[in-house]
Each structure stands twice: as C-alpha cells, then as structure tokens.
C-alpha cells in the first residue's frame, strides 16, 4: 500500500523527470552524453527518491500504526544455556612487501548462547518474558523437559528446553504493524467533525484519554488496558478481567479487539463519541470500541460504537443498550453482538484514500532540492569523465 501511495504522489514523478530534463538539455546543447550515463543517472534518481519518499511518508504521516491481536497463552518455554563449537575460515596477509598475498587458515571458537524465556500464543506469536515469569507458570502448571539436538554443541547437561502448558485461559494482546490509510489521509471526514479547540479542552480536563496501552500480566504476557473509565465509579479491575476473557473468544473468531470507554451521562451526550473517534482516528482496524454514558448507579443512559464495519445492524444494536446495567452489558450483550453481527471491514476498501495522503510542501521542496544537487553532481562527473567512451 505504501508503494501505491508513493507513486500516486505528484512530487515523485516530478523528481523522476529530472534526469529526462537534463538529458534533453544536453542533447539540445550538443554536449557529450551517452545512453549508459542516462541509465545510470535515472537509476540513481529512482533509488534516491524511492528511499527518501519512503522515509518521509513513514515519519511525517500517520501511515504506520499498530493493532492488537487477541489470543491466549499456549505455552511458556525456557531454553537452557549452551555452548557451541564453531569452525570458521580466517583471512590474513602473507607473502612479501613486493608480492603481498592473502592466505586463509581454519580456526575454531566457542560461542556461548544465553538462556532465554518466551511465551507462545495460540495465534503463533512469541512474547519474551523474564525468568521469574516462567518460574511462576512452571510452579503453577508444571513443566516438561524436551531434548534438543544442537549441531556443534560441546557443553554437557544443558541446551534443552522446558515447556509449561497452562490449564486455564490466559489472555494475551500482541501488537502487529499495519498501514493505516484512514489516519494518514488528509482532509478525511474523521478529522473534521469536532472543532480542534473542543478536542483540546476535553484532553486538558482528562475526559479524552490516550488509546489504551499494553501492560504485563502476572505470567509475563502482554495485555491491553481495554477499559477506560472517566467517571471513577466503575470497578475497572472486574470489568477488565471479564473483557480480557471475552477478547480471547472474539479475537480469533471475529478478528475483533473489544474496548469500553465510559463517561458520565449527566455531563456528556452521545456526541462525545465523535470527539473520541476523531481523537483516536477511529482506532485500529480491528477495534470495537463501545462508548457508554452512565449515571451514578452505573445504568447506561446512552451507548454508541466506534469500529470499521459495513454492517449497519451491528451499529444500530450497539446504540440501543439504554437502560441496561453496565455489568450486564459487558457479560452478555457486548460479546453477543460482536459474535453474531460484527464483520470487520477490510482496509483494502479504503484504498481510494491513498491519493489524499501527501507530504507537506516543505518535505516536497527539500526532496526536490536534494535530487537537483545529486543529479547535478552526477552530470558534472559524467561530463568531465574523459575515459567514459573508451
């Protein structure tokens, strides 16, 4: 997708035209210039603009994002330390000062491999953990030693692995990078609904909070702080535990990342959802963010959802939770609606936005000036290379 964004940018083609302009000028002025030199200069320009545009789009736009896959611990593994005997060839100077040569000789060395610990999830992911995390899992669920054959091992009594298999579901959330064209597109509708000063005020008073962060669980697994309560009246520990359990079930089957954001219904109406959606750039591609306005008895006064889906029935039903108790929504309705109605919208459907992802004029100018300097230098070297036609 990023390649498509780059070649859709007008500045990319302007930069590629520089070698052609130089070639035409030299032909019209009867300067010596051969096709091989034109090919070299064009290749150098293509390499330069490709690398620079890739870096500029990566660092100056919000194209790169991270979403979270939800699963559970499949196993926790400890790999023992071991020592390897490595055979390698070393080069060294030999011969005389008048007749220098390079000779080789066979040598050996011992490479020490440190122990390490990791978690494997049911989605095939690995999470690095500490020794204490593994020991806690092993003490609680037991462990099994598995012999590993390692070529070149010279140490004895080590080099194997010990695996612990939990007998209960332990939720995990692991980040995966993707190209978020929705967040990167300029002038997108999600950036225009709520005035900037309103967003800034909500952030200042702590009602608009940052996207949930990861934290470490008791077994070293990574989890997402998927409950955000701005009222201070909710038992978030209980709700977080339950929502993590739900994430295991809907994460793999529905590609969903459930989040709940809670505000005081006496102070904010349903329009708060627009502010949150804009502040979070609609969240990640697999997020299902349930936004709730509750009263002082934790009864839902209004509800809404932020997600990428084409199923309007799901959105309507998520907006119809008024009058329900918060705990009941979490343990029944939220999971049920995701399971029965949610269908994630593929990011490929937003491919049309790539033409709205552009660089600021300052970046465009700097890239163009750099290209002119490089192309001018290469042209100068070619025109002053008297050996090029031999």
DSSP state of 85: E
Model pLDDT, residue 163:
98
Per-residue pLDDT of the chain (390 residues; tens, 9 = 90+): 677 777 777 788 888 888 888 877 777 776 666 677 778 888 888 888 889 888 887 777 878 899 999 999 999 999 999 999 999 999 999 888 888 899 999 999 999 999 999 999 999 999 999 999 999 999 999 999 999 999 999 999 999 999 999 999 999 999 999 988 888 876 554 556 788 899 999 999 999 999 999 999 999 999 999 999 999 999 999 999 999 999 999 998 999 999 999 999 999 999 999 999 999 989 999 999 999 999 999 999 999 999 999 999 999 999 999 999 998 777 789 999 999 999 999 888 887 787 778 788 788 888 889 888 888 888 877 777 655 444
Beta bridge partners of 101: 94
Residues listed for the chain = 390
Distance CA 193, CA 202 (A): 15
Q: Which of 180, 178, 181 is nearest to 355 (CA)?
A: 181
pLDDT tens digits, 63-97: 889 999 999 999 999 999 999 999 999 999 988 88
> Facing residues of 305 across strands?
290
CA distances from residue 5 to 50, 61, 113 in whole angstroms, order as listed: 11, 12, 43
Sign of the four-CA dihedral 122, 125, 127, 128: positive
pLDDT of res. 159: 95
Q: Is 31 helix (H, G, I), strand (E, B) or coil?
A: coil
Q: What contacts 127, CB < 8 A, 6 or more positions away?
A: 118, 119, 121, 172, 174, 220, 221, 222
Q: So what's the pLDDT on residue 193?
A: 76
70 φ/ψ angles, rounded to the nearest 5 degrees: -105, 130
DSSP three-state, residue 197: helix
Asked whether 127 and 140 are in contact (CB, 8 A), the reply is no
- DSSP readout, 135-182? HHHHHHH--EEE----TTB--SS---EEEE--SS--EEEEEEEEE-HH
**Contact between 250 and 256 (Cβ < 8 Å):** yes
Q: With H, G, I as helix, E, B as strand and everything else as coil, classify residue 106.
A: strand
What is the model's pLDDT at position 92? 92
Q: Which residue has the tokens 């992911």?
A: 125
Residue 348: half-sphere exposure toward Cβ, Cα within 13 Å: 1
Let me know how many helices (H) and strands (E) the chain has, helices first: 12, 14
Residue written as tokens 């293509």? 46
Give 354's DSSP letter.
G
> For residue 149, what are the contacts with CB-CB under 8 A and spacing of at least 6?
none
Who contacts 283 (Cβ-Cβ below 8 Å, separation ≥6)? 211, 259, 277, 289, 306, 307
CB–CB of 171/72 below 8 Å? yes
pTM above 0.85, yes or no: no
Decide if 274 contacts 194 (C-beta within 8 A).
yes
* 140 φ, ψ (degrees, to nearest 5): -80, -35
Q: What Rg, from alpha-carbon coordinates, does the chain have?
A: 30
């Amino acid at each position: 997708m990023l390649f498509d964004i780059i070649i859709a940018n007008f500045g990319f083609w302007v930069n590629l035209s520089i070698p052609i302009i130089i070639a035409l000028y030299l032909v019209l002025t009867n300067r010596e210039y051969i096709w091989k030199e034109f090919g070299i200069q064009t290749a150098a320009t293509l390499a330069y603009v490709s690398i620079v545009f890739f870096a500029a789009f990566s660092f100056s736009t919000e194209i790169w994002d991270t979403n979270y896959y939800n699963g559970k611990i499949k196993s926790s593994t400890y790999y023992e330390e071991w020592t390897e005997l490595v055979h390698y060839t070393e080069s060294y100077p030999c011969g005389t000062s008048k007749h220098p040569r390079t000779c080789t000789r066979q040598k050996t060395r011992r490479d020490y491999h440190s122990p390490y610990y990791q978690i494997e999830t049911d989605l095939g992911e690995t999470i690095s953990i500490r020794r204490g995390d593994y020991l806690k899992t092993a003490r609680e669920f037991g462990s099994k030693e598995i012999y590993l054959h390692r070529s070149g091992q010279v140490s004895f009594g080590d080099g194997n692995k010990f695996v612990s298999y939990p007998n209960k579901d332990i939720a995990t959330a692991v980040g995966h990078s993707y190209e978020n064209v929705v967040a990167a597109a300029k002038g997108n509708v999600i950036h225009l609904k709520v005035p900037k000063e309103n967003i800034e005020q909500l952030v200042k008073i702590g009602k608009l909070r940052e996207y949930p962060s990861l934290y470490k669980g008791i077994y070293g697994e990574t989890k997402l702080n998927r409950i955000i309560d701005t009222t201070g009246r909710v038992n978030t520990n209980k709700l977080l535990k339950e929502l993590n359990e739900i994430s295991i079930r809907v994460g793999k089957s529905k590609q969903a990342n459930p989040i709940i954001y809670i505000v005081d219904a006496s102070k904010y109406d349903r329009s708060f959802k627009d502010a949150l959606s804009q502040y979070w750039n609609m969240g990640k591609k697999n997020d299902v963010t349930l936004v709730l306005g509750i009263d002082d008895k934790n009864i839902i006064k209004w509800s809404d959802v932020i997600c990428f889906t084409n199923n309007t029935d799901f959105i309507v039903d998520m907006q119809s939770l008024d009058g329900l108790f918060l705990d009941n929504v979490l343990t029944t309705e939220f999971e049920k609606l995701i399971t029965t109605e949610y269908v994630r919208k593929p990011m490929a459907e937003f491919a049309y936005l790539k033409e709205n992802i552009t660089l600021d004029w300052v970046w465009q100018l700097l890239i163009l000036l750099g290209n002119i300097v490089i192309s001018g230098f290469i042209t100068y070297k070619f025109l002053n290379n008297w050996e090029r036609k031999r």
